Copies of this chain bind each other. A is one copy, B any other.
């Protein structure tokens, strides 16, 4: 039972932090405030996390892991790379929903990362694995005969950069377009250009 209770406390700290960071910002949220909102002692907090930054890192890691899992499922559920990429494009809506409330927190952290090399290394660098993922996917697509022998790295970066651009616009300008449709049409145009 103590084990279970401890896991619940851990989860409650994460949920409380997510909500406070989104509402008031990362900078403006202190450990004391998190403890009060989660109804735990400071001792309990530091039993679970060495710092506020560690809480943020676990939230970010959870978001990235969720994204990873979605991409893997999309790959496994489909029989060709173009199908997999189209299925991934269809997930943009879900990604928006997961990321939307966290946007102010992400922006705030990027601001810190742009000023601090250590923050950069631990928080922004993980996105690079998505680059490797898409490059590998294009390589597979060439090998299975779906794509012309395009440059896998350049094409992977095209897809990832497009996705990042749509994500940023969709978060900053939700009413500016039907971003799910923008994603799907853009991916279809890219696929059309590289498919045999």
Contact = CB atoms under 8 A, between A and B. Distances in A.
A192 B195 CA distance: 11
A157 B177 contact: yes
A151 interface: yes
The main secondary structure of chain A at its interface with chain B is: helix
A182 interface: yes
Contacts of A163: 165
* Most chain B CB inside 10 Å of its own CB: which residue of A103, A108, A154: A154
Interface residues of A, number: 45
A155 B189 contact: yes
A131 to B, nearest CB: 8
20 contacts: A25-B111, A103-B114, A107-B111, A108-B111, A110-B172, A127-B173, A128-B173, A154-B181, A157-B177, A158-B186, A161-B162, A161-B166, A161-B169, A162-B165, A164-B164, A164-B168, A168-B168, A189-B190, A189-B193, A190-B193
